[in-house]
Structure 1
Amino acid sequence: MTTRTLYLFASAAPPVFDVAKVIETAQAEGWGVCLGLTPTAARWLGDSLDDLAELTGHSVRSEYKLPGEDDAWPKADVILFAPATFNSINSWACGITSSFVVGVVAEAIGKGIPTVAMPCVNAAYAQHRALDRSISELREQGITVLYGEGGFVPNPAGSGKPKAYPWDAALAAARELAERA
C-alpha cells in the first residue's frame, strides 16, 4: 500500500501548538506528513522542531531551499494550510510569496495539487474587507477554504479558543480532496 503524502502547513496562531497531535492523527489515518511553517510559526515551535522532524521523518521547512538543492520531501497528494493567519491568507490570495509555505500553496494552484485552507483570525481581523476578498479569490481558484459554518468561526479579539480549533474538519476535508483526486 502506498502512503499518501500530506503537506501540513501552519502559520503563527495558537492552534499551531497542537500540530504534533494533528500529525499523529494524520499518520494514524495512513498519511505521510511533511510539516512546513511560516518563519514566525517556526520561531514559536523552535524548541520542538527536532522532535517534529523525527515524528514526520522529514525536515521541518520554513525557508525556501537554495538553488541546486534537491527537494527532500516526496510529492504532495494534498496540502492542508491550517492555521492560516490573516497575513498568510491575504499574501496567498495576492500572490505575495515571501514565505516558503505561501509560495508552495500559491504554486499548488497552477500544479493542480488539491489544497485546503482553514483560517485562524479573530473577529476584528474578520471585519477587514481584505479577508473576505482573499477568501473569495482563493475559492475561485479552486482552494477549499473552511471559513464560517462547518469550518473556522472567528472569536472576539483577545478571547481565542485554540483548543476549539476544528482540526477534525480540516483533516476530513483534506482526506475528501485526496480521495476525489
Structure 2
Amino acid sequence: MTPAGARTLYVIACGSPASRHVGRLVTLAQQRAWTVCVVVTPDGRKFVDVPGLAALTGHPVRADYKNPGDPDVLPAADAVIVAPATSNTINKWAAGITDTLALGLVVEAQGKGLPIVTLPFTNTALARHPAFQASVARLRDWGVRVLLGDDVLPLQPPGAGEQILDRIPWQLTLDALDDELATG
C-alpha cells in the first residue's frame, strides 16, 4: 500500500551488469521520500536480486505484462527513471516499441507527460552506431532527460563495462529528476 500523498517512482532496469546495483538507486530514491517500484526487462531479470528488491521496495518486481482482468499490483507512477538503459532499450523506446512491460510503461509514461530520466549504460562501439545516436537525439527532443557523456560516465570499450560498475552515478538520475520536477 502506498501512503496517501506519496510520490511513486518507477525504476526500469535493463539487461546489463549494472542492474546488479540498481538497489543503490532504490535506496537513494527512498531517502528522497519516493515510493519505488522496480520493473525489469526480461534480460534485466537475469541481473537483479528479485526477492531483495521486492523486500526493499515492498512491491513485487515486475517483468511481464499482467493477464487480462488481473488487478494492477503497483501504484501509478509519478515519474520514471530508466537506469541502466541498454542501447537495445533506447532504440526500441525511441521507435515506440512496447514488446516488454518495461518498454510499454516507459512509452506510456512519455505519452502521459511524466518526467523521465534515463542513464544509458553501453559501450563505445554501440554508442557510435547511428541508430543509437539518432534514438538519443529523438528522446532528448521529446523532453526525456538522457544522461550520457563523459561528464556523466565515460563509455568503455566493449567488454570493459564491468570495470566501472562502482562508478555509476545513480544520484545524478535523481538530481536530474529533481530538476525536471522543479522546472516541469
Query: Where do 1:5-154 residues align within 5 Å?
Result: 5-45=8-48, 48-154=49-155
In structure 1, stretches of 5+ residues that fail to align are none
Q: What is the alpha-carbon root mean square deviation over aligned residues?
A: 1.5
Q: Which moved more, 1:1-10 or 1:121-130?
A: 1-10
SS of 1:39's partner is coil
CA contact 1:79–1:105 (8 Å) conserved in 2: yes
Which whole-Å CA distance do the structure 2 matches of 1:25 and 1:104 have between them?
A: 22
CA contact 2:117–2:147 (8 Å) conserved in 1: yes
For 1:178, which of 163, 177, 181 is the aligned residue? 181
* Aligned residue-pair number: 179
The aligned amino acid for 1:64 is Y
CA 1:120–1:27 in 2, change beyond 3 Å: closer, same or farther?
A: same
SS of 2:38's partner is strand
In structure 2, stretches of 5+ residues that fail to align are none
The aligned amino acid for 1:22 is L
Runs in 1 of length 4+ with deviation above 6 angstroms? none
Question: Which residue number corresponds to residue 167 of structure 2?
Answer: 164
**TM-score, length basis structure 2:** 0.91
Which whole-Å CA distance do the structure 1 matches of 2:134 and 2:26 have between them?
A: 30
